[in-house]
Amino acid sequence: MTHTLRNGTRTAWAALGGDPALVSRVCGVVRPGALPARLPVMGLARACVGVCALAAAELGAHRTGREVPRVRVDDGAVATAFTSERHLLVDGRAPVSFAPLSRFWRTADGWVRTHANYPHHRAALTAALGLAAEPSVDMVAACLAERSALEVEDAVYAAGGLAVALRSAAEWAAHPQGAVVAGRPLLRRERVAEGPARPLPPLDGDPALPAQGVRVLDLTRVIAGPVATRTLALLGADVLRVDPPGLPELPDQHADTGFGKRSAVLDLEVRADRRAFDDLLEQADVVVTGYRPGALDRFGLSPEALAERRPGLVLAQLSAWGADGPWAGRRGFDSLVQAATGIAAAEGSAERPGALPAQALDHGTGHLLAAAVLRSLTERSTTGGTYVARLALARTAAWLTGPAEGLVEPSEAGGDGPDSSSSTAYDGPGPWLAETDGPLGRLRHALPPFSFTGGPVNWSRPPGPWGADLPRWR
């Protein structure tokens, strides 16, 4: 059953500064059973994907002079895309998910969640605990069982690792970082400097994709940022991901989020590589960063420095905990934010913490980030200026755990509205998966989570090897 989705989409679209009248252009197919959870995860996913699709359709209409087309958000496609890393197959091989030391652990007074998928984070965790370089799960469990959750949280972070004590929503609200996050909007998108209008060239080709001709410098890692830039690549942007040497992305994660992009390696500590990066920046339309606030400032990549160096730039910043507060400089991942903000407690039981049915904070924030870029490109085309968008996983979590009315459709809440019981139930990801051959092998992967007239149906290119491309624009 197809009907207009209004609640969460209206909230997110307003946060993006979009024309309220355009929300009626978003239609959805409700499929009971998609992303089941106690919290309104499906509503969040629909809304984030819906505004991303609408922002793409708006940009395309602006560049062609046509009316903004209706966009379609199908629960099945959204649920499949939000779990894309689980559906990936590489030559028939299932992906490697969380490492053995990335999990919940019982402590002397509660629970703590660690993240040790990357070798340097695993090394920091074991060093903080005073254990051997490659401890067994049982060794780590025995060590943590003797310590308090907050003691572990502080010790591991001090060592450069990642660990977060499990908190309830009330405990997070009382935490200084939780209080700061609660006082912030869902996202911040600002015009930080004046400048002439920079209209994008007319679209050509079939399909004429909305972001065609846009150059995106991708300085992100893991899931949320790469999902945003994967979406921009889907929409026709030339996306070049740049990573430092010696810190490769996890192979399966790269395969899942690398569609449509190219991947280069540059060491900004080396003069020649720095010059190559500066040349890229000089011609970029968009820079997307996913490192903790302040981490790139020493390279002249703070928002203020970028706005001065590259007037007319669209800068999108993603962080785990937000740009303000005592945890602003901390690293974080979706699973850790779930643990800190009360989500894991809400989805769990008295015996054990739980988790969302998808890494929805990553995927949801990634689509919001892409939407913020697209809306900024549309506005830059007419009013000019330099734009900065700031998003955080913790702020998306606050939306999810807040009043449910913003994320639940009328039919799901039992009020007036279409009867979702007459819709087709979600029966697995099959219809929204595809297979693509490429340099990494034959990939089974999730298809895009939205559609609209003139929009893409799949990525133009599969991912290639990490760091294998030259650092230059096409």
Which tens digit of pLDDT belongs to each residue from 235-263?
999 999 999 998 888 889 999 999 999 99
Residue 263: its H or E element: strand 261-265
pLDDT(417) > 80:
no
State the angle between helix axes of 7-15 and 41-64 in degrees (0 to 180), rounded to the nearest 10.
60
pLDDT of residue 295: 79
Q: What are residue 223's phi and psi, to 5 degrees? A: -120, -55
**Structure tokens that stand for 33 in this block:** 């059973």
Contact by Cβ (8 Å): 264, 238:
no
| Confidence category of residue 420, pLDDT binned at 50, 70, 90 | very low
| Confidence category of residue 407, pLDDT binned at 50, 70, 90 | confident
What does each C-alpha distance from 160 to 112, 163, 176, 253, 445 come to in angstroms?
A: 16, 10, 21, 22, 33
pLDDT(174) > 90:
yes
Contact by Cβ (8 Å): 347, 31:
no
pLDDT(230) > 80:
yes
Catalytic-residue membership of 362: yes
Please report, as a single letter, which amino acid is at residue 177.
Answer: Q
| Confidence category of residue 7, pLDDT binned at 50, 70, 90 | confident
User: How far is residue 159's CA from residue 260's CA, in Å, rounded to a whole number?
Assistant: 36
What does each C-alpha distance from 425 to 30, 87, 271, 433 come to in angstroms?
A: 8, 19, 56, 17
pLDDT of residue 423: 65
Helix/strand/coil for 430? helix
Helix/strand/coil for 385? coil
User: How far is residue 309's CA from residue 326's CA, in Å, rounded to a whole number?
Assistant: 29
Contact by Cβ (8 Å): 364, 186:
no
Give percent above pLDDT 90 in the chain.
Answer: 74
Q: What is the mean pLDDT of residues 200-228?
A: 89
pLDDT(413) > 60:
no
Contact by Cβ (8 Å): 36, 357:
yes
| Confidence category of residue 412, pLDDT binned at 50, 70, 90 | low
Residue 272: its H or E element: helix 271-282
User: How far is residue 187's CA from residue 238's CA, in Å, rounded to a whole number?
Assistant: 25
pLDDT of residue 153: 95
Contact by Cβ (8 Å): 152, 164:
no
Residue-wise pLDDT tens digits, 59-99: 999 999 899 999 999 999 999 999 999 999 999 999 877 78
First to last CA, the chain: 42
Q: What is the mean pLDDT of residues 267-285?
A: 94
Strands 386-392, 314-319: pairing is parallel
Give percent above pLDDT 70 in the chain.
Answer: 94
| Confidence category of residue 410, pLDDT binned at 50, 70, 90 | low
10 Å CB burial of residue 32 (0-12, 13-18, 19+) is middle
pLDDT of residue 35: 96
| Confidence category of residue 197, pLDDT binned at 50, 70, 90 | confident
Q: Which of 238, 252, 256, 362 is catalytic?
A: 362
10 Å CB burial of residue 194 (0-12, 13-18, 19+) is exposed
Q: Is omega for the bond preceding 207 within 30 degrees of 0, making it cis?
A: yes
**Structure tokens that stand for 440 in this block:** 């990494």
* 421 vs 247, more confident: 247
**Structure tokens that stand for 209 in this block:** 């994709």
Q: Is the dihedral of CA 4, 5, 7, 10 positive or negative?
A: negative
pTM of the model: 0.94
Contact by Cβ (8 Å): 340, 172:
yes
Q: What are residue 198's phi and psi, to 5 degrees? A: -125, 75
Contact by Cβ (8 Å): 365, 396:
yes
pLDDT of residue 300: 86
Residue-wise pLDDT tens digits, 304-319: 888 888 899 999 999 9
pLDDT(411) > 70:
no
Question: Nearest 5 degrees, angle CA 413-CA 419-CA 425?
Answer: 95
Q: What is the mean pLDDT of residues 263-271?
A: 94
Q: What is the mean pLDDT of residues 197-210?
A: 81
pLDDT of residue 101: 87
User: How far is residue 48's CA from residue 58's CA, in Å, rounded to a whole number?
Assistant: 15
pLDDT(415) > 50:
no
User: How far is residue 33's CA from residue 193's CA, in Å, rounded to a whole number?
Assistant: 46
pLDDT of residue 250: 84
Residue-wise pLDDT tens digits, 362-373: 999 999 999 999
pLDDT(233) > 90:
yes
